[in-house]
Structures are given as C-alpha cells and as structure tokens.
Amino acid sequence: MEQQGSTKLDGTKTASANEQLLTFIVDGEEYGVDILRVQEIRSWSNPMPIPNTPHYIKGVINIRGDVVAIADLRERLGLPKLEYGATTVIVVLRVNAGGHERVMGVIVDAMSDVTNVPQAAIKPPPTFKNSAEGSLAKGIVTLEAAAAEFGGRVPAAV
Amino acid sequence: MANVLTVDDSVSLRKLVANTLASAGHQVAEASNGAEALEVIKTKTFNLIISDINMPVMDGLTFIKHVRVLAAYKFTPILVLTTEMDPAKKKVAKESGATGWLVKPFDPEQLLTTIRKVLG
Amino acid sequence: MTNRLADIQQELMGTFFEEAVEALTQIESGLLALEKCQDDPGRIHELVNDVFRAAHSIKGGAATFGLTQIAEVAHHAETLLDRLRSGSMKPNAQITSLLLSSVDTLRALVQWSSSGDGSDAPATDALCKDLDAAAQQLGAGSERDTAAASKPASEVRKARYQIKFVPKPDMLTTGNDAVRLLRELTLLGDTKVIADTSRLPGLREVELTKCYLGWTIELEGAVTRAQIDEVFSWVDDDAEIKIDELVERSSAAAAQSGERPHDPAARAPEHAGDRDGGGSIRVSVGKLDMLMNMVGELVITQSILGELEGDGPIDVKRLASLRDGLALLARNTRALQESVMSLRSMPIGTVLSRFPRLVHDLSRQLGKQVELKLSGQTTEVDKTVLEKLGDPLTHLVRNSLDHGIEKPEVRRARGKPETGTLSIRAFHRGGDIVVELEDDGGGLDLVKILARAKERGLVGQDDVLSDEQIRELIFAPGFSTAEVVSDVSGRGVGMDVVRRNIKAIGGQIQMSSVQGQGTRTTLRLPLTLAIIDGQLVGVGSYTYVVPLLSILESVEINRARVSQFEGKLPLYRLRDDLVPIVSLGGVLGVTTGRMSLDSGLLVVVETDGERLGLLVDELQAQQQVVVKSLETNYEHVEGLAGATILGDGSIALILDVQGIARLARSAQGSSVVRAA
C-alpha cells in the first residue's frame, strides 16, 4: 500500500494531492477514516464489559497483551442496535487524546475498501443532530471529518 | 582505529571518554578502577590507556606502575586525566610511568585531537 | 564542537547529575558523621578525605560538562575541605553548617540544571565568598588556581625557530614516541629535520628500548613559542630541548589568529535543557547476569518443548514429557518474572537516606534532641513504590519529631533520657514490605484527640468510642491537635493525605501507641505495583480479581445471618461483627445467577479500617496477576484498579475494593439484592 503524501516527524502532514481513507459501513452508510490511524482490523470477539461506562462502550478486549476498549459506532451514532455477526468487524485505531496516544476499537457492520480521496473534495462536516463530530467515548478524539461526493455513494468520514 | 582502555570511577566521565572515542571509530573498553583495569588488560591488547588518578580500590598511578611491568605495555602510550597539573604532580605521574596527561575539564574535541596525535 | 560530540556530552550529563546527587549525599553523611565523631584522628581524617574526594569529583565532572556554576561552588567547598584535610582538622559547627548549606545549594543547582525550566539560577556568590573566608581563616594552603586557561588569541606572525631535541635514552619507556613528536612539529609549519646519529653505538651494543638519536629541527611558520612548548610538554623531563627563535625581518605579517581556544566558556550551556521524563534506574550487573541466565534457561526449555512436536500420535509417553516440559516452563517463567521484578527494585535506603539530615535540622529547629536509628536499608522495594513512599514517610518523621518526642525538660521530668529515639525499620514480611516508625515520645494522647474531634464536630458530643476508633480519628481530613500550627507539620493536612498516598501505592497504614511511652506507625506495602497476588472470583459468566492483600477471609453465605434494613446495605453477622454485604453483580452491572442472598460466597475484605463482604458466585484460583492499567488506553473507572489477562487470553477486571465500597454506598437505594 503506497503512502500518499508524507507525514513529517512531528505528525503533521505535508500537503498531498490525496488522502487515503479506510472505509467501512455502518447502517448502510459508508464512512472513512485516515488510514494512517488504523492499527489493524479484527474480527468480532466478545468484550469484557466495564461497569459505569456509557452504553456504547462495550468493554475491553485483549489485543496481544494490551487491554483495549471498544465502542459500538452504531450505538454512538444513535442508530438501532444490531446483532453482532460474521461480518462484524472491529477497527482498531490509534488516537491522540488526553495528551497521549491511545488505542481504541470501533465496532462497525462491515469493511468496505481503501480509497483515495482528493484533499480538495474533503469539506468540513455538517452539524449532525447527535453530535457525530466523532467524539467516541468521553472526549477521546475527533477523527478526520469530511464530506465528499464519491462514486455515487456519499461517504462521510467520522 | 585503535583498542583503547579508559579507567575512571566516575561513570559519566568514563562514558564521555568512551563514547567520544567510539564515535571516532576506536574500540573502547572500560574499567572503574585500577584493579578492574588490570583484569581487563588480560583480555586483550590495548594501543592506548587513559586513566583517572583518584580512584578507589587501586588508584591510577599504582595501576600504571603495574602495567609498565608487563612486557606488552612497555611502550604503550598511557595518559592520565587530572584536574590540575603542577610540576610536582607531573613528576610523580611521569615517574609512575605515565606518557602524558589530559587536564580536566577537557573538551571532547581536544581529547580526540590528542588521541590522534598519540596514536599516530 | 561537532554536533555528534555535543550530543554525546549531552546524553551523559544525565548520568553526571545522578553521580552528583550520590556524591552530595556522601558529603552530607560524611559531615553528619564527623559531627558525631569523637576524638579519633584516624577516623576524622578518613571522613574528611572522603568528603573532600566527593567534592573534588563533583567539581571535575561539572567542569567537564560545562556546568560552571556547580563547578565553582564545588571548587570553593573543595578548597575549604582541602585545608581541613591537610591539617587533619575536624570541621567546627560553623564550617559544618556552611558546608551543609553548600550541599543544599549544589542540590538546588543540580535540580535546576537538570530541569532546564528556564527559571533563574540559584544565587551562589554569597556562598562562595563565605566558603572562601572560612578557608582563609584556616590558613594558607597550597595554591589551587583554576583560572581558565584562556590564552588570548594573539596575532601570530611568521617566525623561524631552531629546535634541538635530544631524548634521553629512556624516553621511550614512558610511551612517548620521538617520531610522533617530530611529526607534530612538522604539522605546525615548514620543517627541516636533521638527525644526529653520533650517539648510536655499534649494532651489537644497541639496546632496542633506548633512544640514541637526536634531532635539530628548523621550523618556519606562523608558530608561537608556546605551541612548540606544548608539543614537548610531556617530555621536557625526558629530553634535552632547546628552542631558539631566529629573528628575521619578515615583510609578510601573517594575520592568523588561529589559536586553539582553551576557553571553557565555549562549551555546552549550563542548562541541560529538555530531559525526557522517562526515568531511569541503575541496575547491578549481578542482577542482569541473573536475568540472562533465566533467559537462557527459558530458551532451553523452549527447545525441549519444541522437540516434542513431531510426527506420530500423541501417546501417553509424549504427553507425560509435555507435561514435564510445561512444568519446567512454568518454573522458568516464574524465575524470570522474579528476576525482572528484582530489576525494578531498589534498596529502601535511597529513600531513608534523607532522614538523618532531616532529623538533624528539625531537631535543632524544634529545640529537641533526637537520635535516629535506621535499619533494613538494604530491603528492596519496587522503584515506583519507592518514589511514592518519600513524602508520606517524611510527614510521619516530622510528626514524630513535632508531636511525638518531647522537649528535653519534659522528658527529664518524665524520667526519660533527654535524647529521644526515632527508629525506622524496613523488612519483608509474608510477601509484603513493612516499614515501621517507632518513637519513644509521648504517644497518642487519646483524650486530647477525642476532645479535638468533638470540637471539630467529627464525632457527636455523647459518642463513646473505643481506643481503636479514636486512633482512627487522626486520619480524618483536616484533623490536627497542634496547638500552634507549627510550620513543621503544617495544618494537620497530614494523616489523611499520608493514608491516601499509602493507599495509592496499594499499601496500608496503622498506628498504635502507649500513652507516655511512644508511638509506632506501621506501613504495609506491596512488593510491586505491577504484579499483585489476586483471588479470582466468578460473578455471572465473568471473572474478576480481588487483591489478596485486602482479603480477610471467605465464607459461604448463610441466609440466617443476614439482616436487612431500609436504606442501608444488608449486614452479615460474622462472629461478633456486622459486615455490610455488597453484591458484586449489582455494583458491576452483571446479571448473575445469584441475585439473592440465599447462596453464594462472601469474600470479606478490609479497606480503610472497615470491613466489607463481597458477594460472588464462586471462588476460583489464587494467582499472581499482571496489572494492566485501564488508563493507558481508556480512562480510570471507579471501582476498578485495572485489568489483567488470564492464561486463556480472556480479560479479568481487577477490583479496587475502596471504589467498590463507594459505588455500593451510593447505589444503596437501587441495589437489586433482595431476600428470596
């Protein structure tokens, strides 16, 4: 997988023509996230629930010795809950929050593709009703937000 | 590129010398006092020895006296590191067998230059 | 200096700071020991010498790393110590106090330099002057001149020299090489070298170790006399050297001023700048060797197990071998784990070493006489526990001096020796570290404490409390029996904060005392934070871990002993006590099979001096678990102390008993536990 553009040592990105997104599906809608933030993709495994956490935080799972919390994106976006099935997938992301890097998992319906989206096509997000600005779990992170016309579908990156 | 032995009980100073020399491509071994240094000498032959004077267990000058007795080290350059070098101390050091000295504080650049000269 | 060399210097500055800190501690204890030392000239000389050498090494190191302020203070202190040393004198009270101040100032300078926070440097002029004056008073010693050897860059003009260089026969045995010296000369300018072989004997008489040659060198160039002297500086005793300048009018005046600057000012800046907060630890080579051995054993075990793989069916024989191999693996892993744990541990002495000085200063300040006894300094404690132990211990020591040990008059009146004793003992007991502070002071005045508590409204006027309960009051926030808020112990913010800090490292604190005789404070600490002994319990289909340290006992619940009251947690009659019951299923939000109090297991735990019974479905194994913090990737969750990964890869959450208690209390009304 080629890297488009380049990331400087301090994490900022140099201007590049395209942005590479990993896209996935939640409730029929296509969403995308900056591929540089994706650590891995795992198939569904039962999390250990944590008490006193928001309903969309399903618990923690063991990823090679690390204890990682996972959040259900459907529930976070206020969508009706779905049974976890064979195509349910956990996208494990590296995010920057509270001053340091953390690893978090996001439960999505299914994986889609890796696509290149021209930077120019990425527009700032419209305001969603349930503040899907993309803050997962208590003030964790804002992922790249974009809206772009793309191949007939409308991917909104969360 | 030479085999150098550096002896000093102060870790920071010893490593300063060692790392400086290593950066110039030399192979460096270390010891924290004279007695330890005598053990290290048994392991291989050194082209140059740099030693502090004030050390516990066995001080630098005693160490040098022991080294000069060894056939392999009759003509090896041995430098002492010292904070001051008045004529009296100079004499004592030379009498113990030291080749020359480097005055602390030294500049790593200076160290390398001196080493270069001594090793030819 | 090249960048690379500057980097090397920068990297090692951290090591120097560590060494300096150790050396300063050495100086301090040396000075304190000297104070106590009676007339024993041998011992005095030894101690003064040790202190001198420590100061000398700080000076040398600081100067090398360009830390001129530290070097300067160290230099003045060293001069003073040198005078004491040469006169075999014991420092008097004034000098001791001055030197102790120097230690403090140097510590502050080291701290300032290593933090690089951009604030102003601590002032040192007055101190240096005082040290100088003290040294002068002791009389003139050998001149110790460390004027910066900054040769003014003079204009170098072209010159011609004739140099006669005749090494003595034995010059070579000093390791000096005539050829090298000649080469150095040739680098300075244009040279013409003529050898003098007149002293060379016949081939048969030549001794290879001797030098028979001499040389006359003509040197021309932009060279100073000093430069030539420098070339020969090591051998001026071992050779005949004559340098004559041949004066000649030279029209071309070389305007070179390329002197090699010896200027120490052009060095790395005082401020070390950013130091990464990663922390480091010094580990003995012995421990590392042990670790290597363990790893070696592990590799062997792995290959043994590897050999069991192979064609053919898994028969009984192979199964037995496999089992043996696994047992071996378990032993190796355990040993490796212990080895690694021991790497992180350091002797508790590093924390205790600050107390002699503290007690010394504090007792003077309070007008009391106190002797400090330390034991068990070699007891090893995990680095993280050690770091957090300092403050609570300091507070306890201050308390003991401030409130515990009485003034000499009072002690005399009570028939006690005027000098009070505070002993701090550290040792291992049953898998924990125990630190005991014991003083022979006045003990806890229970009457006063109770009165104060009533005054503060912490207990009702008519409440009757047991001695134990009164002692507990000390730990209540904002409690203090100080008549005057002495600036020593502060506003009684003490004990509750101390307890909180001890808890934060997973430990417990207890006090006992006999009025009029003394107080003993006992701290129990876990060996390490990262690995704890845990009791696995099953709640519903999930497994949780209860820290073994907090478990008192476990009992099968007997419905008959349960009493329930409105708005409070159900109580269990355990022998003579009433223990509140907390259903873990309810608190953790797990629908367990047992939502009733008819059956299940009660794990009785203790936290903060109170007891609690945790209702679980079953008891599973007891084992060591590696604590993984939830805050690494998520955040702190009330009631949980972390998570661990079990042998089968599943996650078990580790309970924080105190947090559970809090959650249970706040959820009281909504508790789902009810009688069948």
Residues sharing a CB contact under 8 Å with residue C337, sequence separation 6 or more, in sequence order:
C531, C624
- Partners of C346 in the β-ladder: C381
Domain count of chain C?
A: 5
Query: Could A61 and C649 be called an inter-chain contact, meaning their C-beta atoms sit closer than 8 Å?
Result: no
**Structural domain tally of chain A?**
1
At residue C171, φ and ψ (nearest 5 deg) are -60, -35
How would residue A156 be classed by pLDDT, with cut points 50, 70 and 90? very low
Residues C118 and C91 occupy one common structural domain: yes
Helix (H, G, I), strand (E, B) or coil at C430: coil
Are C330 and C371 part of one and the same domain?
no
**Does A13 fall in a domain?**
yes
> For residue C261, is it within any domain?
no
* C26-64 pLDDT per residue, tens: 899 899 888 887 777 788 888 888 898 889 889 888 888
**Residue A15 clears pLDDT 80, i.e. is over it:** no
Confidence of residue A158 (pLDDT cuts 50, 70, 90): very low
Residue A50 has which token pair?
A: 């944590």
Q: Are residues C353 and C338 in the same domain?
A: no
- A76 confidence band (pLDDT: 50, 70, 90): confident
Domain-terminating residue out of C124, C148, C172: C148
Contact C175 B106 (CB under 8 A): no
Closest approach of B120 to chain C, Cα-based (Å): 6
The answer as to whether A30 is a domain residue is yes
Chain B interface mutation, best of C5, C68, C146, highest count of B Cβ atoms under 10 Å: C5
- Residue range B8-39, pLDDT digits in tens: 988 888 988 998 898 888 999 999 999 999 99
H or E element: which one contains C261? none
Tell me whether residues C53 and B54 touch, CB distance under 8 A: yes
Average pLDDT of span C444-472: 79
Residue that is last in its domain, among C526, C542, C574: C526
Phi, psi of B102 (to 5 degrees): -125, 130
Is residue C351 predicted with pLDDT exceeding 70? Answer: yes
pLDDT digits (tens, 9 = 90+) for A119-150: 655 555 444 333 333 333 222 222 332 322 22
Q: Which of B9, B12, B109 sits opposite C1 (nearest CB)?
A: B109
Indicate whether A157 belongs to any domain: no
Instruction: Determine the Cα–Cα distance for residues B81 and C264; give it in Å rounded to an integer.
Output: 17
Query: pTM here?
Result: 0.50
Q: Any CB–CB contact under 8 A between C651 and chain A?
A: yes
- Contact between C110 and C58 (Cβ < 8 Å): no
Query: pLDDT band for position C431 (50/70/90)?
Result: low
Tokens linked to C524? 């129990």
Would residue C635 count as lying in a domain?
yes
- Over residues C621-653, the pLDDT tens digits come to 988 787 777 877 777 788 888 888 887 778 999
> C251 falls in which pLDDT band (50, 70, 90)?
very low
pLDDT of residue C543: 93
Query: What residue ranges do the domains of chain B occupy?
Result: 3-119
Cβ–Cβ below 8 Å for C1 and B97 = no
Classify residue C523 as left (phi > 0), alpha (psi -120 to 50) or beta.
Answer: beta
**Per-residue pLDDT at C160:** 86
| CA dihedral sign of residues C342, C344, C348, C350 | positive
Whether the upstream peptide bond of residue C269 has omega within 30° of 0, thus cis, is no
> Are residues C181 and C144 located together in one domain of the fold?
no
Parallel/antiparallel/unpaired status of strands B48-52 and B3-7: parallel
Q: Where are the alpha helices (DSSP H) in C345-436?
A: 349-352, 355-366, 383-399, 408-413
**Three-point CA angle A106, A109, A114, nearest 5°:** 75
- Provide the pLDDT for residue A120: 57
Angle between helices B11-23 and B108-119 (to 10 degrees): 60
Amino acid in the structure at residue C469:
Q
Task: Chain C: list its partners (3+ Cβ pairs within 8 Å).
Answer: A, B
Residue C199 host element (H or E): none
Q: Which residue of B has its CA nearest to C67?
A: B105
Lowest average pLDDT, out of A17-26, A83-92, A115-124, C66-75, goes to A115-124
Highest mean pLDDT, choosing among A101-105, C44-48, C596-600: C44-48
Question: What fold, for B3-119?
Answer: Rossmann fold (3.40.50)
Instruction: Examine residue C266 and state whether it is found in any structural domain, yes or no.
Output: no
Q: Which segments of C491-557 does DSSP mark as H helices, in order? A: 494-504
pLDDT of residue C545: 94
- Residue B6's pLDDT is 94
Same domain, C439 and C326: no
Instruction: Output the domain CATH number for residue A122.
Output: 2.40.50.180
Determine, yes or no, domain membership for A25: yes
Check which CATH number belongs to the domain holding C35 and give it.
Answer: 1.20.120.160
Percent of chain C's residues with pLDDT above 90: 12
Name the residue among A48, A53, A138 with its Cβ closest to that of C651. A48
Domain residue limits at C320: 285-343
C-beta atoms of C633 and A69 within 8 A: yes
Q: Which region among C149-163, C329-343, C528-542 has the lowest average model confidence (pLDDT)?
A: C149-163
ipTM above 0.90, yes or no: no
Tell me, yes or no, whether A79 lies in a domain.
yes
Q: Which domain, by its residues, includes A102?
A: 5-149
Which pLDDT score is estimated for C595?
63
Single-letter amino acid code for the residue at C191: T
Q: pLDDT digits over C253-284, tens only?
A: 333 333 333 333 333 333 333 333 346 677 77
- Locate the chain C residue with the closest alpha carbon to B100: C234
Do the chains contact at C12 and B105, CB–CB below 8 Å?
Answer: no
The pLDDT score that the predictor gives to residue C528 is 63
- For the ranges B28-37, B57-66, B87-96, C212-221, the lowest mean pLDDT is seen at B87-96
List strands edge to edge, sheet with C640-645: C618-626, C531-539, C542-547, C651-655, C640-645
In this prediction, residue C655 has a pLDDT band, given cuts at 50, 70 and 90, of very high
Query: Whole-angstrom Cα distance, residue C543 to residue C610?
Result: 25
Give the mean pLDDT of C546-554: 89
- The yes-or-no verdict on residue C423 having pLDDT over 90 is yes
From B37's Cα to the closest Cα of chain C, the distance in A is 17
Q: Pinpoint the alpha helices (H) of C438-485.
A: 446-455, 467-473
